[in-house]
Amino acid sequence: MRLIAENLGGERGGETVFSGVGFALEKGQALIVTGPNGAGKSTLLRVVAGLLPVAAGRLLIEGGGEDFPSVASACHYLGHQNAMKTVLSVVENLRFWRDFAGADFLSAEEALETVGLDGIGHLPFGYLSTGQRRRAAIAKLLVSRRPLWLLDEPTAGLDKASEGRFAVLMRKHLEGGGIIVAATHLPLGLEGAQALVMGRVE
């Protein structure tokens, strides 16, 4: 599987946020997107996910086969918000996304154990701390199988131990033939990842 962007441009509300971005990722490769605030990192991720239209250039996924014909069908998108309901318990939230996304991978309980949240799955999501919420959202990446992970500031709010645990998860995902595109300010602990530095469009 390959994810290719050629001369990609993105805009928000008619304003060009970035242009001329290109990268090609084979399976097992990661891309770390960095840059100052407002450089268009989140916009790039949303364009890649297909939530915003491609304003210029080309974006395609190759070799996805029947299961993953488009980027949207092949990706897990972890945005700024955690996409979890505060009144439902953590396990209920994860079970819902597992059923909805299909392509089952880990069970909700196993996923929680992997991110170190075992034993609190019965609590409403709203009772968790910021870091725990983020870890529960990361567990969402594990309940269904997607080759491409699009991560927007994935480690925001995480402590050192959880960051380390997440780095292990990402490495495992890459070893299993996955692709990661992550926008971040913090080092993620991925060696050999490609880097893309975005600057403001003059």
For another protein, the closer of residues 47 and 158 by Cβ is 47
51: left (phi over 0), alpha (psi -120 to 50) or beta: alpha
Residue 61 beta carbon to another protein: minimum distance, rounded to whole angstroms: 12
Residue 130 beta carbon to another protein: minimum distance, rounded to whole angstroms: 14
Nearest to 64 by CA among 8, 103, 20: 103
Name which position in 24, 58, 63, 85 contacts another protein (CB under 8 A): 85
Name which position in 4, 52, 54, 55 contacts another protein (CB under 8 A): 52
According to the binding rule CB under 8 A, does residue 86 interact with another protein? Answer: yes
Residue 160 beta carbon to another protein: minimum distance, rounded to whole angstroms: 26
> What backbone phi and psi angles, to 5 degrees, belong to 142?
-95, -15
According to the binding rule CB under 8 A, does residue 88 interact with another protein? Answer: yes
Contact string 92-121 vs another protein (x = CB under 8 A): x--xxx-xxxx-------------------
Q: How far apart are CA 59 and CA 90, in angstroms?
A: 35
According to the binding rule CB under 8 A, does residue 138 interact with another protein? Answer: no
65-84 residues in contact with another protein (CB under 8 A) are 69-70, 72-73, 75, 77, 79-84
For another protein, the closer of residues 13 and 192 by Cβ is 13
140-179 residues in contact with another protein (CB under 8 A) are none
Name which position in 15, 37, 66, 87 contacts another protein (CB under 8 A): 87
Residue 97 beta carbon to another protein: minimum distance, rounded to whole angstroms: 7
Residue ranges in contact with another protein by CB under 8 A: 12-13, 46, 49-52, 69-70, 72-73, 75, 77, 79-88, 92, 95-97, 99-102
